[in-house]
Amino acid sequence: MVGVFLIFYGAVLTMSSTFTLHISQAKNTDPAEVCALRIIRSNFTDPMGNLKSWDNGDPCTSNWTGVFCATSNDEYLHIEQLQLLNYNLSGVLAPELGLLSQLKIMDFMWNAISGTIPKEIGNITSLRLLLLSGNKLSGSLPDEIGNLPRLNRLQIDENHISGPIPKSFANLRNISHLHMNNNSLSGQIPYELFTLPVLLHLLVDNNNLSGLLPPELGSLPNLRILQLDNNNFSGSSIPASYSNMTTLVKLSLRNCNLHGIIPDLSRMPQLGYLDLSWNMLNGSIPSNLAIYITTIDLSHNFLNGTITSTFNGLHRLQQVSLQNNQLVGSVPSSIWQSRAFNPNDTLILNFQNNSLTNITAADCPSNVTVLLFGNPLCINASQLNIVHLCQPKSVNQTSEGPTTYQNTCPPCPVDEHYERNPLSMSCQCSLPLTVGFRLKSPGISDFPPYMKDFESHLTSLLHLLSHQLYIESYMWESGPRLNMSLKLFPNSSSLFNSSEVVRLAGTLASWDIHISDVYGPYELLSLSRGPRESDSSKSRLSKGALAGILLGAIVGAASLSVMLTVLIMRKHPRYYSISRKKSSVTTLKLNNVKCFTFEEMVLATRNFCKSTQVGQGGYGKVYKGTLDDGRLVAIKRALEGTLQGSKEFLTEIEFLSRLHHRNLVSLVGYCDEQNEQMLVYEFMCNGTLRDHLSEKRNESLSFSKRLHIALGSARGILYLHCEADPPVFHRDIKASNILLDSKFHAKVADFGISRLAPVPDKDGSIPGYVSTVVKGTPGYLDPEYILTHQLTDKSDVYSLGVVFLELLTGMRPISHGKNIVREQLVQFSTKGIGCGYLWRQRQAYC
Ligand SMILES: *[C@@H]1O[C@H](CO)[C@@H](O)[C@H](O)[C@H]1NC(C)=O
Ligand SMILES: *[C@@H]1O[C@H](CO)[C@@H](O)[C@H](O)[C@H]1NC(C)=O
Ligand SMILES: *[C@@H]1O[C@H](CO)[C@@H](O)[C@H](O)[C@H]1NC(C)=O
Ligand SMILES: *[C@@H]1O[C@H](CO)[C@@H](O)[C@H](O)[C@H]1NC(C)=O
C-alpha cells in the first residue's frame, strides 16, 4: 500500500507545492459562498458519498471535491469553478447557486438532478460556462439566464426542459454555443436570436419547437452549425435568407415538417454536411454545393428533376442519400468517375425508390456502394449489368472495435492495469487516461478516413504527440453523434504526472480548445485513468479526474499521501526505510488482494445498512457483506479522517497481503476511495473468541474446542514469529482479535499496529527487540515491554498467555480492577497447574 503511494511520490511532490501555496495565503472562502455551498449540497442526494469532502473544513483551502477557487484582491477566496461532472448526484439545484457571485464554470453534467433551473443563476454575471447536460431537469428556462453577459456556453441538452426559448437570450452577447437538444422546448424559435454576434453552434434538435423558421436567423454573422432536427415547423419553408449564412458548416433540418423548395446553397463555401431528409420539400436538388461537403441527405422528400452533374468533383463526399424522392433520368457515373479516392475512403450513393431509368456506366469501384432498388431501371437490371446494385438494402453506419496491433512485447503486469500504447514502438507499459468523448454534431458520416486527421488535430490542441492518442473504439449513435473511447498515453514514462492529468482534464472540461468544425462540438462523457477503476493508485486519480477533473480531489488524495508518507517517515525513520523496501515487493504481490470500488462496497453491504453491521471497534464499524460472486466477507470501515486509522490501514494491507497461514485471517481486498478506507476479510461466522467467552453466550465452548482454539492461535503466532520472513510482532494479541470460523478454527486478526521484527545490523547481529512506544491493549501488555519499551516476540507470547487464561476461566483480563494474571496464576499454582507454565512458555521459543 505504501508502495502504491510511492508510485505517486514524484507526482505528489509537485502537488504538494501547489497545496502549500494554497495554504500559505491563509485566506478562507467567502463565508456567504461557504454557506451557499452547504445549502447546495444539502439539496443533493449523494448516494456514493462523492461530496464527503464537503463535510469538513473550508471549500477552497480544504480542497472540496469539484470546487476550484480563484485568488482575489479582497480578504476572501472565491469559488470560480464548480465541476461536478458524472457524480451520481440527484436532488435539485438550490437557488443559493446564485450566491456564488464569482463563478465562471458551473458543471453538473451527467448526473440525475431534477427540478427546475433556478432563476438565481441569472445573478452570476461572471458565469462563462453553464453545463447542465444529461440530467432530469424540468420546468422552463428562466428569462434571467439572458442576463449573463459573459456566458459563452449554455448546455442543457438531454433534460426534460419545456416551455419556450426565452427572448432574453438575445442579450447573450458572448454566447457561442447554445446546446439545447433533446428536451421538450416548445413555441417558436425567437427571431431575436439573430442579434447574437458570436453564436457558432445552435443545437435545438429533438424538441417540440413549432411555428415558422425565423428568416432573421439568416443574418447571424458567424453561425457554423444549425441543427434543428425532429421539431415540427409545420408549414414553414426554409427561408431564402438562409442562403446568406455563408459561414455554415453544417445544416441539419431533418424531420422538421418543412415544405417548399431548397434555397440556394451555393454561397456556403464551407458547407460540409447537409441533412434535409424526412420533410416535404419539392423542387430540384441544390447545385453548386461546397467542394468540402461530405454528406448530403435529402432522402424522404418530394424532390424531382434529375441527378445531373451536381455531385461531380466533390472529393470528400462520403454519403449521398436521395432515396424516396421522385428523381428521374440517369444515374450519373461521373460522381465516382470524376473522383480520386484515398485508401480509406468510401462512398455510399443511396438512390433507392426513385424514378431513375438508366445508368451511364455500371463499373463502380469496390469502395463505392450504389443502391438502386425501387427504380424503373432495375427492371432491366440484367441488361444493364446492375443486378447487384438493385438488391434492397439499408445502409447501417458501422462501428468499429479496437484495431489490434502486432506486438512482440511481454505482457504488462495484470494487476496494475498498465497497458502498452498500441501506437508506440516501445514495450513501455503505462497507465493511460481514458476519455469518453462524443462528437455531438459531426460534419462527417464515415470516420476512418478522418481518424488520422482527428488524432493529430486533437493531440496538437492538447499539446501531446500524435502517437499519444489512441482511439480505442467508436460508435455511431442516433443524431448522428459519434461516441468514442479515447486513450491518452504518457509519452515515454509509465504515468502522466499529476500536473499533466490536471492540465489535460482541465483543458477538456473547460472547453479551452476549439476543435475543428469538421468534427463539430464535442462533449466530455467521462474521464478516468485506466480501463477499470479497481487499482487503488489509479482510482484515486481516476475519481479525481473523472469528476471532471477534480483538481480538488487529486490534490486532496495526493496531499493526504504526502502527509502520510512524510508523517510516517518522520516518525519511524529506520523502520520506514525497511518496510518501504518491503512494500514495493508487496505491491507486486498484491495480486491476491483485490482493490474494491466504493460502489462495490455499497452494494455488498446494502449501503452500510444497519442490519449488516456485525461489530464496532475503535477503528470503525464492521459489516457483513456479500460480494457479487456470492462470497461472504467482513468489511471493516475506518472512521473517517482518522490519520491513525489510515496508518493502520496501510500496515494491515501491507502485512496481510504478505502473510498467509490457515490460522491468520485472510484479507480479500481493500477499498481506498472517496476518503473511505475499508478492509475486506473472509467472513468468520463465529465471530471473536471474546464473544464466546462472555457470559452472554448461552452455549459455552467445550473444553476440546477451547484447546483447539488455543492451539490454532498459537500456530498463527508461531508462524508470524518463526516462519514469516522477516518475522512480524503482532503487538495486539487479545481474545477479540482471535476470530473463529464455522468449524471454530482460530484465526488471528488485526495487524493494524504490528511491526516487523528487527533486521540484522551491519555486523550481522540481530538486536532481538524493537524500541518503540508502548501500544496494545491493557491487560494483555507484557510488563517487561511496558517497562523497557522494547518489543520482542515474547511480548506477543505473554499476551497469548493471557488469552489462554481467559480460555480457561472465561474471565476478562481486567475485571473489577483486578488483573487476571495476578489473580488466576496464584490460583492455578495452588491447584498444581503450575505457575511456571506461562513463564516457561515465554522463555523457550522458536
Ligand atoms: C435525442 O432524442 C432522439 C429522439 O427522441 C433520440 O432518438 C436520441 O437517442 C436522443 N439522443 C440522446 C443523446 O439522448
Ligand atoms: C442576403 O444579404 C444581402 C446583403 O445583406 C441582402 O441584400 C439580401 O437580400 C439577402 N438575401 C436574402 C435572400 O435574404
Ligand atoms: C442508357 O444509357 C446508355 C449510356 O449512356 C445509353 O447508351 C443507352 O441508350 C441508354 N438507354 C436508354 C434506354 O435510354
Ligand atoms: C509533467 O510532465 C510534463 C510532460 O511530460 C513535463 O513537461 C512536466 O515538466 C512534468 N512536470 C513535473 C512537475 O514533473
Peptide bond into 59 cis (omega under 30): no
Domain membership of residue 679 as a residue range = 561-846
Residue 795: closest CA among 723, 717, 707, 738: 717
Q: What is the distance between the alpha carbons of residues 76 and 25, in angstroms, rounded to a whole number?
A: 10
Task: For residue 787, give the C-alpha cell.
Answer: 517497562
Secondary structure of residue 87 in the 3-state scheme: coil
Pocket of ligand 4 contains residue 14 by CB under 6 Å: yes
Tell me the ligand closest to 208's alpha carbon.
1
Can you tell me which residue has the cell 523457550? 844
The per-residue pLDDT for 719 is 86
Looking at the fold, whether 693 and 577 belong to one and the same domain comes out as: yes
Q: What is the distance between the alpha carbons of residues 100 and 80, in angstroms, rounded to a whole number?
A: 8
Say how many Å lie between the CA of residue 367 and the centre of ligand 1: 31
pLDDT over 70 for what percent of the chain? 81
Secondary structure of residue 91 in the 3-state scheme: strand
> For residue 581, what is the domain's CATH number?
1.10.510.10
Mean pLDDT of the chain: 80
Secondary structure of residue 642 in the 3-state scheme: coil
- Higher per-residue pLDDT: 385 or 418: 385
Residue 492: closest CA among 472, 464, 473, 471: 464
- Tens of pLDDT, residue by residue over 730-740, are 888 998 889 88
Residue 790 · residue 731 · CB < 8 Å? no
pLDDT of 178 strictly over 80: yes
Minimal-distance CA residue to ligand 3 atom 12? 358
Query: What phi and psi values does residue 187 have, to the nearest 5 degrees?
Result: 80, -170
Residue 738: closest CA among 705, 768, 761, 775: 705
Say how many Å lie between the CA of residue 804 and the centre of ligand 3: 105
The per-residue pLDDT for 217 is 93
Secondary structure of residue 621 in the 3-state scheme: strand
Task: Give the mean model confidence (pLDDT) for residues 717-729.
Answer: 83
Residue 299: closest CA among 212, 394, 215, 378: 394
Of these residues, 732, 750, 782, 796, which one is catalytic? 732
Minimal-distance CA residue to ligand 1 atom 3? 206
- Tens of pLDDT, residue by residue over 95-126, are 999 999 999 999 999 999 999 999 999 999 99
Alpha carbon separation from 437 to 314, 366, 733 (Å, rounded): 29, 32, 53
- Higher per-residue pLDDT: 629 or 565: 629
How would residue 168 be classed by pLDDT, with cut points 50, 70 and 90? Answer: very high
* Vertex 819 angle, CA 815 and 823, to 5°: 110
Give a yes or no: residue 479 inside a domain.
Answer: yes
Residues with CB under 6 A from ligand 3: 330, 358, 360
Task: For residue 818, give the C-alpha cell.
Answer: 483486578
Provide CB contacts within 8 A for 286, sequence distance 6+.
262, 263, 264, 265, 266, 274, 310
Active site residue 732: yes
> For residue 291, what is the domain's CATH number?
3.80.10.10
**Can you tell me which atom of ligand 2 is nearest the CA of 243?**
13
Looking at the fold, whether 512 and 576 belong to one and the same domain comes out as: no
- Tens of pLDDT, residue by residue over 313-360, are 888 999 999 999 999 999 998 888 888 888 888 899 999 999 999 998
Q: Which helix (H) or strand (E) holds 524?
A: strand 522-529
Say how many Å lie between the CA of residue 182 and the centre of ligand 1: 6
pLDDT of 588 strictly over 80: no
Can you tell me which residue has the cell 487464561? 805
Residues with CB under 6 A from ligand 1: 158, 182, 206, 230, 478
The per-residue pLDDT for 419 is 80
- Tens of pLDDT, residue by residue over 258-291, are 999 999 999 999 999 999 999 999 999 998 899 8
pLDDT of 413 strictly over 80: no
Distance of CA 408 to the CA centre of its chain: 31
Give a yes or no: residue 119 inside a domain.
Answer: no
Say how many Å lie between the CA of residue 357 and the centre of ligand 3: 9
Looking at the fold, whether 706 and 845 belong to one and the same domain comes out as: yes
b/e string for 663-689 if b means 16 or more Cβ within 10 A?
Answer: bbbbbbbbbbbbbbbbbbbbbbebbbb
| Dihedral sign, Cα of residue 813, residue 818, residue 824, residue 825 | positive
Q: What is the distance between the alpha carbons of residues 772 and 16, in angstroms, rounded to a whole number?
A: 30
Peptide bond into 480 cis (omega under 30): yes
Residue 558 · residue 8 · CB < 8 Å? yes
Residue 594 · residue 535 · CB < 8 Å? no
Give a yes or no: residue 94 inside a domain.
Answer: no
Looking at the fold, whether 359 and 328 belong to one and the same domain comes out as: yes
How would residue 554 be classed by pLDDT, with cut points 50, 70 and 90? Answer: very low
Pocket of ligand 4 contains residue 497 by CB under 6 Å: yes
Q: What is the distance between the alpha carbons of residues 328 and 342, in angstroms, rounded to a whole number?
A: 31
Domain termination site, one of 506, 538, 570: 538
DSSP classification of residue 688: B
Can you tell me which residue has the cell 497497458? 419
Query: What phi and psi values does residue 770 have, to the nearest 5 degrees?
Result: -115, 125
**Can you tell me which atom of ligand 2 is nearest the CA of 244?**
1
b/e string for 757-766 if b means 16 or more Cβ within 10 A?
Answer: bbeeeeeeee
Q: Which of 191, 219, 241, when mutated, tests ligand 2's pocket best, judged by the most ligand atoms within 8 Å of its CB? A: 241
**Can you tell me which atom of ligand 1 is nearest the CA of 230?**
4
Provide CB contacts within 8 A for 642, sequence distance 6+.
none
Looking at the fold, whether 629 and 757 belong to one and the same domain comes out as: yes
Alpha carbon separation from 464 to 123, 489, 512, 822 (Å, rounded): 38, 9, 15, 72
Provide CB contacts within 8 A for 737, sequence distance 6+.
688, 748, 749, 750
Q: What is the distance between the alpha carbons of residues 320 and 341, in angstroms, rounded to a whole number?
A: 16
- Higher per-residue pLDDT: 493 or 331: 331
In DSSP notation, 537-596 reads HHHHHHHHHHTT--HHHHHHHHHHHHHHHHHHHHH-HHHHHHHHHHHHHHHHHGGGSEEP
pLDDT of 583 strictly over 70: no
Can you tell me which residue has the cell 425565423? 214
Give a yes or no: residue 330 inside a domain.
Answer: yes
Residues with CB under 6 A from ligand 2: 218, 240-241, 243-244
Q: How many domains does the chain have?
A: 3
Residue 800 · residue 793 · CB < 8 Å? no
Q: What is the distance between the alpha carbons of residues 195 and 234, in angstroms, rounded to a whole number?
A: 25
Looking at the fold, whether 364 and 433 belong to one and the same domain comes out as: no
Task: Give the mean model confidence (pLDDT) for residues 706-725.
Answer: 86
pLDDT over 90 for what percent of the chain? 38
The per-residue pLDDT for 258 is 96
Tell me the ligand closest to 264's alpha carbon.
2
Domain termination site, one of 480, 505, 538: 538
Q: What is the CA radius of gyration of the chain?
A: 35
Say how many Å lie between the CA of residue 148 and the centre of ligand 4: 37
Give a yes or no: residue 555 inside a domain.
Answer: no
Residue 654: closest CA among 627, 679, 620: 679
Looking at the fold, whether 613 and 485 belong to one and the same domain comes out as: no
Looking at the fold, whether 383 and 440 belong to one and the same domain comes out as: no
> For residue 502, what is the domain's CATH number?
3.30.70
Tell me the ligand closest to 329's alpha carbon.
3
Instruction: Report the relative pairing of strands 620-626 and 613-617 from DSSP bridges.
Output: antiparallel
Minimal-distance CA residue to ligand 1 atom 9? 478
Pocket of ligand 4 contains residue 489 by CB under 6 Å: no
Say how many Å lie between the CA of residue 217 and the centre of ligand 2: 12
Residue 548 · residue 66 · CB < 8 Å? yes
Provide CB contacts within 8 A for 399, sequence distance 6+.
473, 474, 475, 476
The per-residue pLDDT for 537 is 35
Distance of CA 624 to the CA centre of its chain: 27
Instruction: Report the relative pairing of strands 112-114 and 153-155 from DSSP bridges.
Output: unpaired
Residue 726 · residue 757 · CB < 8 Å? yes
- Tens of pLDDT, residue by residue over 189-213, are 999 999 999 999 999 999 999 999 9
Looking at the fold, whether 427 and 479 belong to one and the same domain comes out as: yes
Say how many Å lie between the CA of residue 341 and the centre of ligand 3: 27
What is the number of H-type helices and E-type strands within the chain?
18, 44
- Tens of pLDDT, residue by residue over 508-546, are 888 888 888 899 999 888 887 533 333 333 333 333 333
Tell me the ligand closest to 334's alpha carbon.
3
**Can you tell me which atom of ligand 2 is nearest the CA of 240?**
13
The per-residue pLDDT for 461 is 92
Residue 62 · residue 34 · CB < 8 Å? no
b/e string for 390-425 if b means 16 or more Cβ within 10 A?
Answer: beeeeeeeeeeeeeeeeeeeeebeebbbbbbbbbbe
pLDDT of 803 strictly over 70: yes
Instruction: Report the relative pairing of strands 632-638 and 676-682 from DSSP bridges.
Output: antiparallel
The residue ranges of DSSP E strands in 62-132, in sequence order, are 67-70, 76-83, 90-92, 105-107, 112-114, 129-131
Residue 176 · residue 200 · CB < 8 Å? yes
Secondary structure of residue 706 in the 3-state scheme: helix
Task: For residue 195, give the C-alpha cell.
Answer: 442579434
Task: Give the mean model confidence (pLDDT) for residues 590-598.
Answer: 73
How would residue 137 be classed by pLDDT, with cut points 50, 70 and 90? Answer: very high
Give a yes or no: residue 145 inside a domain.
Answer: no
Say how many Å lie between the CA of residue 451 and the centre of ligand 2: 38
Minimal-distance CA residue to ligand 1 atom 7? 478
Give a yes or no: residue 321 inside a domain.
Answer: yes
Looking at the fold, whether 274 and 390 belong to one and the same domain comes out as: yes
**Can you tell me which atom of ligand 1 is nearest the CA of 158?**
14
Q: What is the largest CA-CA distance in the chain?
A: 119
The per-residue pLDDT for 791 is 81
Query: What phi and psi values does residue 182 have, to the nearest 5 degrees?
Result: 55, 60
Q: What is the distance between the alpha carbons of residues 623 and 683, in angstroms, rounded to a whole number?
A: 10
The per-residue pLDDT for 405 is 53
Phi-psi region of 684 (alpha: psi -120 to 50; beta: other; left: phi over 0): beta
Looking at the fold, whether 623 and 570 belong to one and the same domain comes out as: yes
Looking at the fold, whether 383 and 423 belong to one and the same domain comes out as: no
Q: Which of 205, 206, 229, 278, when mutated, tests ligand 1's pocket best, judged by the most ligand atoms within 8 Å of its CB? A: 206
Question: Which amino acid, 234?
Answer: S
- Tens of pLDDT, residue by residue over 14-46, are 333 333 333 444 688 999 999 999 999 999 999
Residue 193 · residue 172 · CB < 8 Å? no
Q: What is the distance between the alpha carbons of residues 747 and 757, in angstroms, rounded to a whole number?
A: 21
Tell me the ligand closest to 362's alpha carbon.
3
pLDDT of 403 strictly over 70: no
The per-residue pLDDT for 134 is 95
Secondary structure of residue 836 in the 3-state scheme: helix
Task: For residue 709, give the C-alpha cell.
Answer: 482454539
Task: For residue 425, give the C-alpha cell.
Answer: 514502438
- Higher per-residue pLDDT: 279 or 770: 279
- Tens of pLDDT, residue by residue over 448-486, are 889 889 999 999 999 999 889 999 888 998 889 999 999
Give a yes or no: residue 151 inside a domain.
Answer: no
